[in-house]
Amino acid sequence: MKSFINSPENVVKEAVQGLLINDKLAMLDRFPEIKVVVRNDWDKSKVALVSGGGSGHEPTHAGFVGEGMLTAAVCGEVFASPSVDAVLSAIMAVTGEAGCLLIIKNYTGDRLNFGLAAEQARALGYDVETVTIADDIALGGDVKQRGIAGTVFVHKIAGYYASKGKSLQEVASIARRVAANTASIGLALSECQMFGGHKEVRLKDDEVELGLGIHGEPGAEVIKIVPVDELVALVSDKLQKHEAYATAKYAVLLNNLGTVTPIEMNVIAHAFTKTKLAKQTSYLIGPATMMSALNMNGFSISILKLTDEIEEGLTGAAEPEAWLKAKKMDTPALIATPKLDALLPYTASSNAQAKAVITQIAHTFIAIEKEINALDAKVGDGDAGATFASASKTILSLLDQLPLANTKETLESIGRIFSREAGGSSGVLMSILLIGAANQFDNNVPIGQALLAGLNKMKAYGGAKVGDRTMIDALEPAFSALANGQSIQEAATAARMGTENTKHIKKTLYGRSSYVPEELLAGVQDPGAEAMTRVFESLAKPH
């Protein structure tokens, strides 16, 4: 596993130190022997909330330390419970007369170490209550259910009531009710991997695992991968059947288990809106990373059955930035799109010469599409020919709607077509050129000068100039020739010279070629320049 770390043994220590670049957080001074993150502003007048466990699940647990959530988090090594001493130190550091609630995930190491620390604290005279979270329903009722992302609901709601000054018994009671009304399931495309360790590979490329644990434990079942709508529906149906409250309202947490990309998490959220469970969902938290499993490529869904008391605690203010405010589940509002000008706002008119020139240019672009694509594949993304060919086909289909008798309006109209119908940067640049030329053109300005003025607009917005291996290397010498009164044949010759020169340009700052190694550019002309030159050469031939 390639990782941004110095060494596996120092990961947790250095991660905690990175987290503590925050004036609201502190650590106990036995760090790094024990790794306890505490509120820097805690005055012990209210019930303290302490949670923790193995690291590797960030932002859980230390990311939720702050007003309205946890008072302290005890950080073990990756996937390893913290020691009894560390937990006891945290309790003693933050507990006053109001007492302390320990929030424990249902894993053997956590139950033992947190439980023993609680007993030792009680023996020392501290008032300590515990609540154990067992929200993972994937393995069924016959197996000890694990505590996973639903734990965060308990952090949030118990933290809210502790911040309101409720007693330890009241806070513990609401925490247990939240735990009892929470259920979760995870699903992943891949296993997680320990820092510096060998990655276990259980899944084939066409498989996903349902109900796996947050430490990489095997799941309840392996299934074939299907579209995300079906995967999310499967998870949601299992949660809904487990709860079996047909009229209940829920809060739902969409949790990223590690490396699902943000765009995929939004697709998962959209998929959830199509499920039966979504119809019973009042609040959505996420999609967000709340309890990860190192680099696991998966997600989990946690649901919480709402009561008035739970809803108040869930929606109340909380300081930690890792907590995302619960948002009302609703369909997106639709706002009317401002009406754009008509693609072709001018009255159609005829001009045989203009029609012939435009037709010749369009047919040339279409004819050379594959050749220019192949050239572009060597130095770009392989679509330069397709961009110009697509716009050309649209122009031909609209030819009889163009104001061909008015050059200024024709330039602007074709520029509009490139803007709306052509893809990529080339289409936008051509639109800027043509509309810029239209803005400069009148009967006293030759077409060559107008086109050169439009090209200067393109250069100003695009940033490239002659020598940067773009279509400008062909267009500028050709337009300059026309602006100086030279023939179309001379313009074509100037364009060809500019294009041939791009074969020798190896270092550029603009265009696709700026991302390509110099050795791949040698001897290859720029595809945009080549396309423009072919057009000039086509127009220069006698017809």
Does one domain contain both 417 and 319?
no
Does one domain contain both 238 and 366?
no
Could you tell me the CATH number of the domain that includes residue 474?
A: 1.25.40.340
Q: Over 70: is that where the pLDDT of 466 sits? A: yes
Asked if residue 52 belongs to a domain, the reply is: yes
From CA 178, how far away is CA 68, in angstroms rounded?
Answer: 16
Does one domain contain both 367 and 480?
yes
Could you tell me the CATH number of the domain that includes residue 23?
A: 3.40.50.10440
Question: What tokens were used for 373?
Answer: 């694509």
| pLDDT band at residue 443 under the 50/70/90 scheme | low
Does one domain contain both 364 and 320?
no
Q: Over 90: is that where the pLDDT of 282 sits? A: yes
Does one domain contain both 456 and 520?
yes
| pLDDT band at residue 513 under the 50/70/90 scheme | low
Report the percentage of the chain scoring pLDDT > 90. Answer: 77
The winner for highest mean pLDDT among 236-245, 383-392, 478-487 is 478-487
Give residue-wise pLDDT tens across range 291-308: 999 999 999 999 999 999
pLDDT at 523: 76
Question: What does residue 78 show for φ and ψ, rounded to 5 degrees?
Answer: -60, 120
- Count the neighbouring beta carbons within 10 Å of the beta carbon of residue 493: 19
pLDDT at 24: 86
* Average pLDDT across the chain, whole number: 92
Give helix 384-397 / helix 527-540 axis angle, nearest 10°: 40
Does one domain contain both 319 and 385?
no
Does one domain contain both 271 and 372?
no
Q: Which residues are catalytic?
A: 215
| pLDDT band at residue 95 under the 50/70/90 scheme | very high
From CA 164, how far away is CA 105, in angstroms rounded?
Answer: 24
From CA 461, how far away is CA 521, in angstroms rounded?
Answer: 25
Give residue-wise pLDDT tens across range 178-231: 999 999 999 999 988 888 776 678 889 999 999 988 988 888 899 999 999 999
pLDDT at 141: 64
Does one domain contain both 361 and 231?
no
Query: Among 286, 313, 328, where does a domain finish?
Result: 328
The runs of H, that is alpha helices, within 150-196 are 151-163, 168-180
Per-residue pLDDT, averaged over 227-239, amounts to: 95
From CA 230, how far away is CA 279, in angstroms rounded?
Answer: 17
Per-residue pLDDT, averaged over 68-82, amounts to: 97
Asked if residue 177 belongs to a domain, the reply is: yes
Asked if residue 190 belongs to a domain, the reply is: yes
CA 233 to chain CA centroid, nearest Å: 22
Q: Over 60: is that where the pLDDT of 244 sits? A: no
pLDDT at 201: 82
Asked if residue 154 belongs to a domain, the reply is: yes
From CA 255, how far away is CA 298, in angstroms rounded?
Answer: 9
| pLDDT band at residue 342 under the 50/70/90 scheme | confident
pLDDT at 139: 81
pLDDT at 356: 95
Does one domain contain both 435 and 519?
yes
Does one domain contain both 500 and 371?
yes
Asked if residue 333 belongs to a domain, the reply is: no
Q: Over 80: is that where the pLDDT of 361 sits? A: yes
For residue 476, give the 3-state DSSP assignment.
helix
pLDDT at 153: 98
Q: Over 70: is that where the pLDDT of 374 sits? A: yes
Per-position DSSP letters for 317-339, written without gaps between them: ----TTSPPPEE--PPP--PPPP
- Residue pair 433/451 in contact (Cβ under 8 Å)? The answer is yes
Does one domain contain both 251 and 388?
no
From CA 162, how far away is CA 172, in angstroms rounded?
Answer: 9
Asked if residue 338 belongs to a domain, the reply is: no
Question: Which domain covers residue 453, as residue numbers?
Answer: 352-540
Burial of residue 18, with CB atoms counted within 10 A of its CB: 0-12 exposed, 13-18 middle, 19 or more buried: exposed
Does one domain contain both 272 and 140?
yes
pLDDT at 22: 74
Per-residue pLDDT, averaged over 342-361, amounts to: 93
From CA 184, how far away is CA 371, in angstroms rounded?
Answer: 55
From CA 181, how far away is CA 171, in angstroms rounded?
Answer: 16
Give helix 151-163 / helix 168-180 axis angle, nearest 10°: 150
Query: Among 280, 312, 328, where does a domain finish?
Result: 328
Q: Over 80: is that where the pLDDT of 470 sits? A: yes
One-letter identity of residue 504: H
Matching residue, tokens 């803007």: 419
Asked if residue 335 belongs to a domain, the reply is: no
Does the model's pTM come out above 0.85? no
pLDDT at 514: 54
Query: How long, in residues, is the chain?
Result: 543
Asked if residue 343 belongs to a domain, the reply is: no
Domains identified in the chain, total number:
2
pLDDT at 402: 96
Give residue-wise pLDDT tens across range 482-501: 999 999 999 999 999 999 99
pLDDT at 243: 66
CB-based contacts of 336-343 (< 8 A; 24+ apart in sequence): 343/416, 343/417, 343/420
